[in-house]
Amino acid sequence: MDILIKVSGDLVESNEFYDWLESINHFEDKLFVLCGGGTLITKELNYQRIPFEFGPAGREISSERGKFLAKRALESQASIIEARSKWKGLKVTVLAPSMNLGDKICHLNGDKYLVALYPNFDKIYVVTLEGRTKAFPEELNRIEVVYL
């Protein structure tokens, strides 16, 4: 089974997340982890005084410097997931919701990205902090929200 796990950036360093990931890992499954990083991106952009706003597709960053900082933050989160998963003996493919189109950096909202990836996976988990609200269209019935 191909399984996509979108994890909140706030859980990337949480032992609880890796214990949970280990609990769903089966030999025949392929695990793909899509990292979040909204809190870290906001912190970096605010620290650098780079303006952004939230639109219908998520965070909108107009400056190239801001887009670069967001991409770097997501790549940092992805590196942590790769290292911690390897340390736990988990074989995962890690994705960051950022891409380059030519020389243009495109930052994507992780939840929106997972919806675009939906047709390609047998099961999708969205792992986030207790108390956060996550809702997806009812017809996307392979998505399960997990609160840690």
Q: How many residues does the chain have?
A: 148
Say if residues 3 and 122 touch (Cβ distance below 8 Å). Answer: yes
Token duo for residue 47: 């620290």
Report the pLDDT value the prediction gives residue 57, as an integer from 0 to 100.
Answer: 87
To 5 degrees, how large is the angle CA 113–CA 119–CA 124? 65
pLDDT of residue 77: 97
Of the pLDDT bands very low, low, confident and very high (cuts 50, 70, 90), residue 120 is very high
Mean pLDDT of 52-70: 95
- Provide the mean pLDDT of the chain: 96
109 pLDDT tier (thresholds 50, 70, 90) = very high
Average pLDDT over residues 109-120: 96
**Which residues are 58's β-sheet partners?**
55
